[in-house]
Amino acid sequence: MEYVASEKAQEIVNRWECKSENIIEMMHDVQSDLNYLPRDVIFQISRTTNVPKSTFKNNYCR
């Protein structure tokens, strides 16, 4: 399941052109497709968009 989530997330990130200003939309799309938002996928989006992981931890991970 992790691989499927990671692959799906990469498709979504690519669809949004890896732009950091689209991270909310990316996470929303992943959540819509998978019915949840895995922490590993959040960090994958962080790496791909060059947004510091701390930004995600402080704002999106509870």
Long-range CB contact pairs, 24-31, < 8 A, 24+: 27/60, 30/5
Residue 58 clears pLDDT 90, i.e. is over it = no
Spell out the residues 6+ positions from residue 24 whose beta carbon is closer than 8 angstroms to its own.
none
- If you average pLDDT over residues 24-43, what whole number do you get? 90
Spatial distance between the Cα atoms of 4 and 29, rounded to a whole number of angstroms: 15
Vertex 59 angle, CA 25 and 5, to 5°: 50
Count of other CB atoms within 10 angstroms of residue 12: 21
Residue 28 clears pLDDT 90, i.e. is over it = yes
**pTM for the model:** 0.79
